[in-house]
Amino acid sequence: MTRGRPFFWISSLLLFGVLADTVELTKTDPNVLIISQVLSYMDESVEPCQNFRNYSAKYAKRLKPPSISTKFQIRFDELKDQEFEDGSLEGKMQRFYNICLARKTSNSRIPPAQQLTLQELENQYGMSLAKFLEYIYDQTIPPSAVVHVKSQEDLIRFKVLLTTFNPDIEFKDEIYRFFHYSLSFPVIERVHGCVKTMNLYLQLASNLLYEERILGPEKQTYTVLSYLEAMIY
């Protein structure tokens, strides 16, 4: 028994040393911290084939639907009615944007049941949309904005769901779905569609424009201008 004690203490010290190193590594190595955090989010009590979302991230919250980048919309709107030199980056972006706004039409072929202003809609149906619309579109929608009521039945359902809306908690898909079933903001949606198109096809030019307008003047490269020329002509 006495001969076993030194071995026991040596083993204990070695084990303690390994644990101490592990704890120290966890404290200092950011990769270990990240992996540990990811593992802590997993709920291993859930069957992954039945509920993979909770299994992979039990504390995850559904994010709000992707919205248009307002920083680009503001820049493009600044260009709409200004005058620029021929061949300038701003002039070419302005032309592309204005062409898109003129051509962009509604995706719906069914005429709206009603056409109102936002203020008239809120008064007629007894609802307040300001916070919800700001959350959806990332901007304040004026009371004079034109609204198309696509379905009055879905609008009543949306009105009920709107009472549960809270921007500080998890976003519910059902509210977003019935909002689009029932209402349409044609002017706002046309602008957003064109900003998305600009960012999709002219991403490099859009970023350069933002840098010039916000971060200061940048040199206009031949590649960007040639790309714009090809897109417009």
pLDDT of 218 reads: 44
Instruction: Work out the average pLDDT over 80-86.
Output: 85
State pLDDT tens for residues 103-125. 866 556 678 899 999 999 999 99
Range in 8-17, 125-134, 177-186 with the lowest mean pLDDT: 8-17
pLDDT of 132 reads: 93
State pLDDT tens for residues 159-218. 999 998 887 776 678 898 999 999 999 989 898 888 888 888 887 877 777 777 766 654
Q: How do strand 146-149 and strand 183-184 relate by DSSP bridges?
A: antiparallel
Give the span between the Cα atoms of 65 and 135, in whole angstroms.
10
Separation of first and last alpha carbons in the chain: 93
pLDDT of 10 reads: 45
Give the span between the Cα atoms of 49 and 55, in whole angstroms.
9
CA angle at residue 46 from 43 to 52, to 5 degrees? 85
Is 21's pLDDT higher than 60? no
Give the span between the Cα atoms of 43 and 25, in whole angstroms.
25
Q: Assign 3-class secondary structure to the chain.
A: CCCHHHHHHHHHHHHHHHHHHHHHHHHHCHHHHHHHHHHHHCCCCCCCCCCHHHHHCCCCCCCCCCCCCHHHHHHHHHHCCCCCCCCCHHHHHHHHHHHHHHHCCCCCCCCCCEEEEHHHHHHHHCCCCHHHHHHHHCCCCCCCCEEEECCHHHHHHHHHHHCCCCCCCCCCHHHHHHHHHHEECHHHHHHHHHHHHHHHHCHHHHHHHHHHHHHCCCCCCHHHHHHHHHHHC
Residue 220 confidence class, pLDDT cut points 50, 70, 90: very low
And the tokens for 187?
């002017």
Is 223's pLDDT higher than 60? no
Give the span between the Cα atoms of 219 and 26, in whole angstroms.
47
And the tokens for 22?
């592990």
pLDDT of 221 reads: 44
Of residues 84 and 27, which shows the higher confidence score? 84
pLDDT above 70: percentage of residues in the chain: 61
And the tokens for 71?
């920083």
pLDDT of 226 reads: 46
Per-chain mean pLDDT for the chain = 75
C-alpha closest to that of 221 among 99, 211, 233:
211
And the tokens for 151?
């379905």
Is 32's pLDDT higher than 60? yes
